[in-house]
Chain A
């Protein structure tokens, strides 16, 4: 390798290194802003103030869905297996919404600490299998991915 090429190789490597460092600093500085949603633990820790719009994500707690008989109003609890937030919503829920399923809701906390959602999105996990296999795994108690990725939800110090 000629000195000239070595020099250019160094230059390109340095450029890449510099950009990587800059991006790494930027990304870690804005880590919280890059999160799509907060976990119920974040909410319990008071990371977001009342009235500010944000997203909360977690698993819908089993047997927690309460539907209003006359309207589309629905309330349910969302958990990250540490803390729980009650979400109220009026509208059409996505097809994948069900108890035990991961969801992400957009909205804000009201004075009572209930999360009033304007939009509810369903989160699905990375597991794909035929229904028969799912049944078999369920019976054996070895169903993967019932956490839908929320076990990694980052907890933030207050």
Chain B
């Protein structure tokens, strides 16, 4: 069972699989987002209370959902890396961090744009807004920690210290996710409670809900598109000395192996792609 996971989760395998999936994610994300935006911005009716301003929900809510989803992906991969030392899991976590940070920033900025006309303020330190800001800092902290702990002059393969330190931060920070989700129920906040919950009927008319769900799906697919693309780059960087990367490079260049950049073929020691202990 575990040998199977290790074989499946080996860098060349994940690299190949991501390469196959990435374009599909990209195309379907673009489709969902284009149709979702059209339905949301043009077809959906205005809101009875907020008029046209509510339409920013079609960006704000999917971004906010993805900001939390991405963090869970990052935390779970970090835990897998800590326990099973699966290097690909660390690569996934490292690839997710900037994507999650971007979604969080989009959620915060669009929320601010929405807050000004509706609430009357750009920002208020209520529990929902503050915990979402904390999420942004967690992402940025994760990236900063990775960078700070990386061995000097080493940009490709991360040091074990950097990977483990960042993974611990990611796992500890996951406690913020339920806090963000339940903040609007546990405390008095200016932010309204969730419109769409697991147990209740959504508090949104179906004509407005459909584009929102489509946009959420689009954001999800966009996340996976970004993840697969970033993961491929990350794997190539950190495994740049492994044999499968060299073989890939040779296969992709038309020049015969001997004519490669001088250093590359002579200094690189052929290595077996480690099945990571």
Which of the four size classes fits the interface of chain B? 35 or more
* Set A1, A130, A153: member contacting B48, Cβ < 8 A: A130
Is the Cβ of A12 less than 8 Å from the Cβ of B204? no
| A97, A148, A149, most chain B CB atoms within 10 A | A149
How distant is the Cα of A126 from the Cα of B195 in the complex, in angstroms?
5
A145 to chain B: which residues have CB within 8 Å?
203
Stretch in contact with the other chain, from B62-70, B102-110, B116-124 = B116-124
- In the assembled complex, the Cα of A130 lies from the Cα of B51 at a distance in Å of 9
A121 within 8 A of B: yes
Interface size on A, residues (CB 8 A): 50
B182 CB to closest chain A CB (Å) equals 10
In the assembled complex, the Cα of A35 lies from the Cα of B128 at a distance in Å of 11
State which of B20-28, B140-148, B184-192, B257-265 sits at the interface with chain A. B184-192
Residues of A within 8 A of B192 (CB): 123-126, 148-149
Q: In the complex, what distance in Å separates the CA atom of A37 from the CA atom of B117?
A: 20
Kindly identify which residue among A36, A38, A154 contacts B125, using a CB–CB cutoff of 8 Å: A36
Q: Which of B178-207 contact A (CB under 8 A)?
A: 179, 184-190, 192-195, 203-205, 207
State whether B171 touches A131 (Cβ < 8 A).
no
| Residue in A57, A128, A129, A152 with the greatest tally of chain B CB atoms within 10 Å | A128
User: Can you identify 5 A-B contacts, CB atoms within 8 angstroms?
Assistant: A12-B83, A36-B126, A124-B119, A128-B54, A129-B48
Interface residues of A (CB under 8 A from B): 1, 5, 8-9, 11-12, 15-16, 19-20, 23, 27, 31, 34-39, 57, 93-97, 104, 119-135, 144-145, 148-149, 152-154
